[in-house]
Amino acid sequence: MDAPNPITILVVDDHPVVRDGLQAIINSEPGMQVVGDVGKGVEAVALYFALRPDIVLMDLLLPDIHGAEAIRRICEKSSNAQIIVLTTLDGDEEIYRALEAGARGYLLKDMVRRELVQAIRDVAAGKRYIPAQVGARIAENLPRPDITAREIEVLQLIASGLRNKEVAYRLTVSEATVNAHVKHILSKLDVSDRTHAVTVALRRGIIHL
Residues binding its own copies (CB under 8 A): 14-25, 63, 88, 109-113, 116, 158-161, 163, 191-196, 198-200, 202-203, 209
Instruction: Choose the contact partner of 83 out of its own copies, DNA, none; CB within 5 to 8 A by kind.
Output: none
Q: Report if residue 144 touches DNA, rule: CB under 7 A.
A: no
Q: Report if residue 156 touches DNA, rule: CB under 7 A.
A: no
By C-beta, is 1 or 149 nearer to DNA?
149
By C-beta, is 14 or 175 nearer to DNA?
175
Phi-psi region of 190 (alpha: psi -120 to 50; beta: other; left: phi over 0): left
What are 33's strand-pairing partners? 8
* Strand (E) or helix (H) holding 74: helix 67-77
Least Å distance between CB 63 and its own copies?
Answer: 8
- Please give the full DSSP string across 180-205, using - where no structure is assigned: HHHHHHHHHHT-SSHHHHHHHHHHHT
Determine phi and psi for 43, rounding to 5 degrees: -65, -35
Instruction: Tell me which stretch binds DNA (CB under 7 A): 58-66, 88-96, 128-136, 172-180.
Output: 172-180
Determine phi and psi for 85, rounding to 5 degrees: -80, 140
Least Å distance between CB 164 and its own copies?
Answer: 11
- What is the number of H-type helices and E-type strands within the chain? 10, 5
Site for DNA in 91-120 (CB under 7 A): none
> What is the distance between the alpha carbons of residues 73 and 166, in angstroms, rounded to a whole number?
35
Q: Report if residue 159 touches DNA, rule: CB under 7 A.
A: no
Least Å distance between CB 5 and its own copies?
Answer: 25
Instruction: Choose the contact partner of 141 out of its own copies, DNA, none; CB within 5 to 8 A by kind.
Output: none
